[in-house]
Structure 1
Amino acid sequence: MTSSPGWLSRYQRGQRQRVWLELRQVGSTLRGTGLGEEAQLVCDEMARRARQNIEVLVERLTEDGYRFHSNDDGQVPMLPHAPPTAGAAEYVQRLEDRFGAVPMTLSAWARIVGDVWFVGTHPSMPGLAGADPLVIELEGSLHEVPRWFVDVVDEEWDDWQERQAEDPDDEPFVLPVAPDHYHKNNTSGGGAYGFILPDGCVDGVFSWETDLPFVSYLNWVFSDGGFPRPPGDKDWWQLRRRLTKDLLPL
């Protein structure tokens, strides 16, 4: 590509699916080029739209009497959203220094959206607790990240590098950013959700129940108002319509 494909303007005009398709096709070849800068602008615009969705959902859930709390018996009140700190860009750089290239969508999320924690209890819909509420914790602004957790992640990375040297087809390394849907509901479960790293592509791969492009995962989550495992409560669809009204597609 020698001329600008106009990704940002096309994305803003509504050609989002086509733009993401093109950006995923080019993979990591844009790094360090002018087109890489344009691709990052698309990711940043996506993150601004995602942040607006999150702020709208927090407001609507709060109006409903939803209690955001920790995923344990104590149910300690939690902030549902912490904007990026002044050190967010530096944090992304530390990730790259430790784990190699990170996707542009991860960088945009860390710098523009921040940390999100939708775990909680709805006053009239108990099934929502098990509906896999949105959680993305990169900086650790909502929870104080314990030293042992950082050490465990570092050890897992070192172990993965050793296995990778012996078997390049080994399972990829996943940077954990959220508990799985069982742990969100204070139940013993499986491995954490997270980003597959290293990854120099524009849109990263988010590993949860399956592996999806991060933006595809977010669109799925927002299409269900922040709860991608709809509960069986009879009033769910009415609540879903209210939560998702006028949310922005990414």
Structure 2
Amino acid sequence: MASPRTQAIRTLHRQWCGLFDAPGADAEAILRSTFQGCRQALESRQSELLALNYPVESMLCPSTALPQRIARLEQALGAPIPLSLACFWQEVGGVSLVSLGDYVHLDFWQEQGLGDACCDGLYIEALHADAEDYFLSEWEEFQDSPEEFYFPLSPDAYHKDDVSGGAGYGLRVQRGQSDVLTPWLGYEGSAAEQDWGQAFDFVGYLRWSLLVHAGFPGFAAEAAFAPIRDRLLSRIEVF
């Protein structure tokens, strides 16, 4: 059964989804305002984690030269970047609550008695130069695939903790369509979605991860994480 906090955030999200159906709704303005709130929540999360001596230093990752990068991607793909992703890149940039490469976050969680579960810390790739090249190379390899292309924006829970896992999380590119509620791929059929009560779109996933599980949904069932989660959520503003 969903917790009261999950139910409250889910209700907020459903009401937010309804904003796009209002006559004359400005989808881009709604998304930009939402991601401005998301950035404030992430800045709060960053401060709280640093106070806990969490070892991940570069949690927020700004993007640069975005109009040119987005234009090049759209030209290559022949399709618009999902509006929600474009607005996220513009207002937030990117975020990493894990340390990919040296995985120093694993030692921290081990010290908290949380070494047996993958934290699944929130990670969304910023559109920097290396990411642009990576997305374009993925698109080139995708040409002979029968599947729909999606932006690989995050490793899965296992890869984030240096364990062999499956496909990452991301957003699908759909030709001729820019869907503000683009499905977040990688969580379909998961226990998380069952608790949330519907499939995740991008903003729904961000709210689930940050506002319900303090940025580490992999620890949802871990009793040792509860006091840390409560501290991290005590001052965060909803968005």
TM more than 0.5: yes
Offset of 1:79 from its aligned partner? 1.3
Question: How many matched pairs?
Answer: 206
User: Which sits farther off after the overlay, 105-114 or 89-98?
Assistant: 89-98
* Other structure's SS at 1:177 match: strand
C-alpha distance after superposition, 1:93-116 (max 9, x if no partner) = 223222212222111101010111
Residue 153 in 1 paired to residue 138 in 2? yes
- Inter-partner Cα distance in structure 1 for 2:30 and 2:74: 20
- Inter-partner Cα distance in structure 1 for 2:114 and 2:229: 13
| Preserved CA contact (<8 Å) 1:84 1:112 | no
Identical pairs, percent? 24
| Preserved CA contact (<8 Å) 2:35 2:88 | yes
Q: CA RMSD in A?
A: 2.7
**Match among 125, 128, 147 for residue 112 of structure 2:** 125
Match of 1:56 in 2: 44
**Match among 96, 104, 121 for residue 83 of structure 2:** 104
- Inter-partner Cα distance in structure 2 for 1:202 and 1:233: 33
Structure 1 residues 118, 20: CA separation in 2 closer, same or farther (over 3 Å shift)? same
Structure 1 residues 136, 46: CA separation in 2 closer, same or farther (over 3 Å shift)? same
Q: TM-score, normalised by structure 1?
A: 0.72
Offset of 1:196 from its aligned partner? 0.8
Q: TM-score, normalised by structure 2?
A: 0.75
Structure 1 residues 190, 140: CA separation in 2 closer, same or farther (over 3 Å shift)? farther
The runs of 5 or more residues in structure 1 that have no matched partner are 1-13, 27-33, 69-77, 164-170
- Inter-partner Cα distance in structure 2 for 1:18 and 1:151: 36
- Inter-partner Cα distance in structure 2 for 1:178 and 1:16: 22
The runs of 5 or more residues in structure 2 that have no matched partner are 1-10, 99-104, 189-198
Match of 1:66 in 2: 54
Q: What are the within-5 Å matches in structure 2 for residues 183-198 of structure 1?
A: 183-198=159-174
Match of 2:213 in 1: 224
Structure 1 residues 206, 247: CA separation in 2 closer, same or farther (over 3 Å shift)? same
**Match among 42, 63, 69 for residue 91 of structure 1:** 69
* Other structure's SS at 2:85 match: helix
Structure 1 residues 175, 208: CA separation in 2 closer, same or farther (over 3 Å shift)? same
* Other structure's SS at 2:172 match: strand
Higher relative contact order, chain-length normalized (CA < 8 Å, sep 6+): 2
Letter paired with 1:155: E
